[in-house]
Structures are given as C-alpha cells and as structure tokens.
Amino acid sequence: MSYRLTHCVPMLETNDLSQTISFYSQKLGFHCIGMYPDAAHPTWATMKRDDAEIMFASHSRFKHESIGTQRTNMTGSIYLYTDDVDIVWNQIKDTAEVEVPISNFDYGMREFAIRDCNGYLLHFGKTIESD
C-alpha cells in the first residue's frame, strides 16, 4: 500500500453526550478537546487523556425517522493501556460499574474492566513484567 495510517480513534454513539463528557472527565480524567456545535447543545465531542482519544456522537446526530430512538450497542470493547493499572484501579473501582476485577491473566496482562455511563466495556491493562 502507498499510504500510512497515523492513528485510530473510535467514535461511539451515546444517548446523552453531556453525561458522557462528564463521566469521562470526572471519573477517568479525560479532557474535552473538541465539541460541535457548542457546549449548550453538543452532538459530537472528542475526549483525550495522554495518548488515548475517543470521539462520541449523539444518536440524534445520525437519527433517521425510520430508525427512531436507538440504544447504544457494541459487540467489542475499548482497551486502554496504562503505565500503572493498579493506580487506575484504585482511583475508579468505587466510582464505576466494575465488570472484571483487577487480576493477572495467563496471557501476560494485568487488567480490569468497567462499564461507562453508556454501557460500553472499558478494559484497562498493563503487560506483566517478567523477571
């Protein structure tokens, strides 16, 4: 191929964009770095923390009359690598819906998973250092 991909940013749908911005800001330490059309009535936003970035769009932005109201749905999950998964765990375990408690896994990762305010599964993990 003659081109190069520079990075991938997932864009997830949400029923309540203001609530999503608040969740990612207050619980996970993300910052809103872009919003459309404005803060009073956002239909799209991009959230960033360090090198991790996720975009969100309101269902209403893509709503067609034939579809009606939709609920958020994703068959996969978002995996966030961190330099210290235990610190992240201790900061958010009591403020988020824990799906998988922190553990060491046979495939060489120490990780846990939570649900965000939309029901999306967020994994946080770090490679286990071998001696």
Question: Which residues on neighbouring strands pair with residue 80, listed in sequence order?
Answer: 124
Q: Who wins on pLDDT, 118 or 63?
A: 118
In this prediction, residue 129 has a pLDDT band, given cuts at 50, 70 and 90, of confident
Q: Quick check: helix, strand or coil at residue 95?
A: coil
Average pLDDT, integer, range 42-61: 91
CA-based nearest residue to 70, from 119, 10, 23: 119
Q: How many domains does the chain have?
A: 1
Average pLDDT, integer, range 103-118: 97
Check residue 55 and give its pLDDT.
Answer: 97
Q: What is the CATH number of the domain that holds 86?
A: 3.10.180.10
Q: Beta strand 52-58 with 11-14: parallel, antiparallel or unpaired? A: parallel
Instruction: Decide if 31 is inside a domain.
Output: yes
Instruction: Decide if 59 is inside a domain.
Output: yes
Q: Respond yes or no on whether the N-terminal peptide bond of residue 42 is cis (omega within 30° of 0).
A: no
Tokens 């959230």: give the residue: 47
Rounded (5°) CA angle 130-52-54: 135
User: Domain residues for 45?
Assistant: 11-64+71-127
Query: Which DSSP helix (H) or strand (E) runs through 61?
Result: helix 59-62
